Structure 1
Amino acid sequence: MSKSVALTLKHVFKIELLIIYVAIINFGFSIYFKTWSNKKISELDSQMLKIQLEENSGNFNHDDLIEKLTYDYTPFTYFDEELKTELSEIIELLETNQNTIEPIITFQNNIHQTQNRLNLGYDTLLYCSLILIMIAVFLIVEKSFKNRIDLHRLKVMSEEQSKISRNLHDGVAQDLAALKLYLEKEDISKSKFYAQQAFNEVRYMIGTTHLNLNESFEEIVKKLAATLEANYNISTKVYIGSTKIQDLSENVQIELIRILQEALSNISRHANASNVEIRFVDGIDDFRFIIKDDGKGFSEEEVELKNKQSAKKHYGVSNIKERVELLGGTVNFISEVGTTIAITIKDSVR
């Protein structure tokens, strides 16, 4: 499992991981060479001080130091022609036992300047490594965010496909089965009725699956109401008196639209209603989403009993409850005159 996850990460974040590898390698080499060069310069500076101290005490015999300077430090000055020339002059003076204090002071000043330039270069490389890592992290976060959005879209599409399949089974398929039965009985009146029912159901599903989620929340709700009214001749009124709706995140608004679709689908197939009201109103610390029809009504207990006794399942109520719970809200199904679905969402949900 861990190997497959690692392979997936390498595949998804290939460029980002490459940037991180380059940054780490650059960081490691920069630290190593900066430490090494500073150490060499410090040792060379110590050797120059040692020569000055010995010459101040009258000792001009530096055979051991000449060999060390020639083999250990001369190669170190190859990158700087001026330093190389100055060190060569100092070694020549040491070999002839001449005074080297002034050339050494000049050499030390130059080598310290060189050290500052080298450190600036290495520090620049280190900062470049950090910038590369920050870029890689930004790309990973951005790609992860996009992947989450894509996964959410796929989830919504999957849910929509399941809903269409369920509606085809619960609505259109049964209407067509009834149509076939009454055609065989040559009952023209009922055949026309079920043909019209199947036609209305298909038209309604087409209308609700072609919603543009980039439109405003109010426009989408009104289009859903208009689709229900056009296909089922059910008078549908929309009242949006909530200002809090606009403060909700896009994901929450989409969930509310899915809840409304589920409720209207149930009304069209089961309620035998003539009028529907859809209301969004603000409370003190919440807002209310109310869907009311004047149909025959139902109770949750009645739906549960039918689901237990029949092979044909009804998932509309449970789907609405699950979606509301995901939003941290509450839902009540009130059946007096018709059915009222009252949903309450707290202000903390954004």
Structure 2
Amino acid sequence: MNATLDAAYQRLLKELCRRLGAARAELQLLGNADMPARTIVQDDARPVGAGAHAIAIPIREGAHDIGRLHMVFASSAPLPDPAEQELAQTMVELAALLVEEHHQLSWGVLRQASRRILSVAEEELQRIVLDIHDGPVQKLFALSSHLALLQAQLGDTPPEARATLEPTVQRATMLIEGALQDIRVMLSGLRMAEFHQRSLPDVLEELAFQHETLTSNHVALEIAGAIPPVSMPVKIALYRVMQEGLSNAYRHANVDRHAVRVSSHDGWVELEVADQGRGFEPPPLEGPGATEREEHIGLRGMRERMHLVGGQLRVISQPGQGTRVIVQVPSDA
């Protein structure tokens, strides 16, 4: 939440405390697809002694709970009557609606643009893949053919010259073959999975098979129940998060088995990539201390992809305890 909205909530809490005689107030608002959960604590709260009383007032939007207003009163202060509590509830609900409207006006267009950028970036990535395949890869294949021809012609050269040249030609051939294999692996990871034509379960199943083929590791993929259709940006984001999670596990977990679970509940699609490997201490991914370090580029990429589609990322891990990467995305994002 930005400083302007935070200041507005602070003024509201101060006014409620003044009107109702409370020593301090705290507002907890639940998150949704567009706004994260947040807690606003009154910044000039008065101290309370022993025997303080507390009340919790539900904050609703229609029939849905969207948060709680907690107020603390000194033991000598009277508690607000039902009419006063209803007034406080109404004031907070109105403020929450105004904040939501402000957020939609400020960020709705930006988020739509971000999701379009995600699709455009994926298309640009595919263009780069084709350029690499049609350019450098073809030239390396041609060079490999020339080296094979040269190696065949070495049989007609004097023994001394052949003894000098043959090891060099063989090393060059091995280097080119290794480079071509590295490029194949890289391009297979970048290649688009026909996102337009296929469902989310289909593209994730293909990704699991692709990972098994490239690494010889086993991926246990579970599609738990029916998964609702999702937008192109969400499909791309979940695909790339699963890809990065499996890649990280292959490179760092020191195990040859991975588990992936996809489920849907309460309007969210959840993807979990887990392993029972060596584990690590995850860096902070949100807030003022969120990592921007170069070695965390994979985690940062997953975090940013989730932000673009209104999703959430959690990384649960400890040394020796394996790792769980869990993302949740609104199914209608």
Q: Pick the TM interval, shorter chain.
A: 0.3 to 0.5
Give the structure with the higher percent helix.
1
Superposition TM-score, scaled by structure 1 size: 0.40
Superposition TM-score, scaled by structure 2 size: 0.42
